[in-house]
A and B are shown apart, each in its own frame.
Chain A
């Protein structure tokens, strides 16, 4: 019996953990994180923005890499319209050496990222937003109340770019917002890489 109770507690813990992070409609905090150019970037820096496309991603995940060019295209299309892309690397550089700040700089240079690519030491904002995998996208809308989450999930439903009739969730969501409407699809699911969390000091 005690074992069952214990198991229940663990399960509760897991569900509770799974539910942390922002839901659609929540207001997000701002951040101040180091970009690959060495400067700190906050949402508030984008004075002219109507909202943001925040992509939790990394250097190493094959799924994130498959989306790299599409993230770039999103920024090219929507930054001029007021929805810039801000990418945040979720991974700990010790747990995943390919995701170090230097490697982020290399990737940004090699692929000529036109958007900010920020590090997130100790996963503070990865956890606050509730990103669980890479890539994991949050579309935010600037409102009088603050930055409100309008969409959470995948960039599209066609990771391998094989389906001509793909649904471009993020694009559709931003276009709806630009037209003064709420997105018709507000949350989606996708397979992604788990986040490479920093090892607890106790386990070292």
Chain B
């Protein structure tokens, strides 16, 4: 019986941590994209304090929901401070019931990080990176997206 309780507890911990938001370096983001089984990745850079970002999040959520049968993955990478992970980001994700994978960026040098994501990025958010692994295509936009614009951009990436 004790064994089952332990297993149950471990499972519980496992699922709990799985539902959490993780910290993510740029290297880890690259690995997530490279090793993932999906072919197209939509990486949205946002923050809980960024009004236009929060406004467009439902479009990314809808994209993820509507693309369940397709090899498309939405990754929501928050630029909130790491120290706000527990106090701001996780409560925000729970409250808004976000279904996409959510991360908080873990890069100490923003200057380097911004340049590495895309040379033409000023650092303003929202910003979104589209990657098609099969076609080896990449597109980066420093702007807000409507649902339709997301679909069009994905079409152009094919």
Contact status of A188 and B124, CB under 8 A, knowing A160-B83, A193-B49:
no
CA distance A62 to B84 in the complex (A): 11
Residue of B with least CB distance to A192: B123
Instruction: Decide: B110 and A62 in contact? CB cutoff 8 A.
Output: no
For window 105-125 of B, CB contacts with A under 8 Å fall at: 108-112, 114-115, 121-125
Instruction: Decide: A159 and B123 in contact? CB cutoff 8 A.
Output: no
With a cutoff of 8 Å between Cβ atoms, the chain A residues found around residue B9 in the complex are: none
Residue of A with least CB distance to B127: A191
Contact of A133 among B108, B110, B124 (CB under 8 A): B124
Provide the B29-71 mask, 1 if CB < 8 A to any CB of A, else 0: 0000000000000000001011110000000000000000000
CA distance A18 to B122 in the complex (A): 10
Instruction: Decide: B114 and A190 in contact? CB cutoff 8 A.
Output: yes
CA distance A16 to B8 in the complex (A): 59
Query: Interface on B for A, CB 8 Å cutoff?
Result: 47, 49-52, 79-84, 108-112, 114-115, 121-125, 143
Q: A62-B49, A160-B82, A189-B110 are in contact. List 16 more A-B contacts (CB 8 A).
A: A132-B124, A157-B108, A157-B109, A157-B112, A160-B83, A160-B108, A162-B82, A167-B111, A189-B114, A189-B122, A189-B123, A191-B110, A191-B124, A193-B50, A194-B124, A194-B125
